[in-house]
Amino acid sequence: MATSKFWSDASLEPKRQHRWLLYVGGTPIAGSTQGTIGIPTYVVKRVTKPQFNISETVHSYFGHKFYYPGSVEWQTTSFTLVDPVEPDVSEKLYSALISSGYNVPESHKVNTLSKDLSVKALGEIITLQQLDAENTIVDEFSLYNPWITSVEFGSLDYESDAMVEVVVTVRYDYARFNTGKA
């Protein structure tokens, strides 16, 4: 009995790494190209999909060990942006830091940020949509209560004509996955 291989079946299509959109700051609105903090989708160059770890609990009983699943912990995710002159992505990210409650120190005051303000700086949801060849959504991750844990504003080099890239790492409380299948 012959088995069908995906490369010989025209109705099957693998998910491709280059078909996706990232909306920073909310669920996308039809026709929208940017999230609430004004980062256009076209400046996002790379993104890591959400990932989680499940802890384990060990129970010892009569010389045997039994393992049980524990808590789910969502890991940080990151995305890389190209930093155009306009819109200035570095400025938008620095403004998000300020709106998170950060005060530029004038003295030796201790700066602590508020989670409520930090979450509001990016919006309550970051949405990652994976698309097929017809630009139909096949998968969608929604990351809830995201806040920036780090920003790398890139590097400069006289010997390079590459675009400046900004890497943003985000912590979030949890993610929801929705498939595009009806």
Tens digits of per-residue pLDDT, 58-89?
Answer: 999 999 999 999 999 999 999 999 988 888 88
Peptide bond into 87 cis (omega under 30): yes
Residue 170: CB partners within 8 Å, gap ≥ 6? Answer: 76, 77, 78, 79, 122, 126, 143, 146, 147, 148, 149
CA distance 80 to 128: 13
Q: Does domain 14-179 have CATH number 2.30.110?
A: yes
Residue 113 is predicted with a pLDDT of 72
Closest CA to 47 of 174, 137, 167: 167
- At 96-144, the pLDDT tens digits run 888 887 777 765 566 677 777 777 778 888 999 999 988 899 999 999 9
Residue 36 is predicted with a pLDDT of 57
Domain ranges of the chain: 14-179
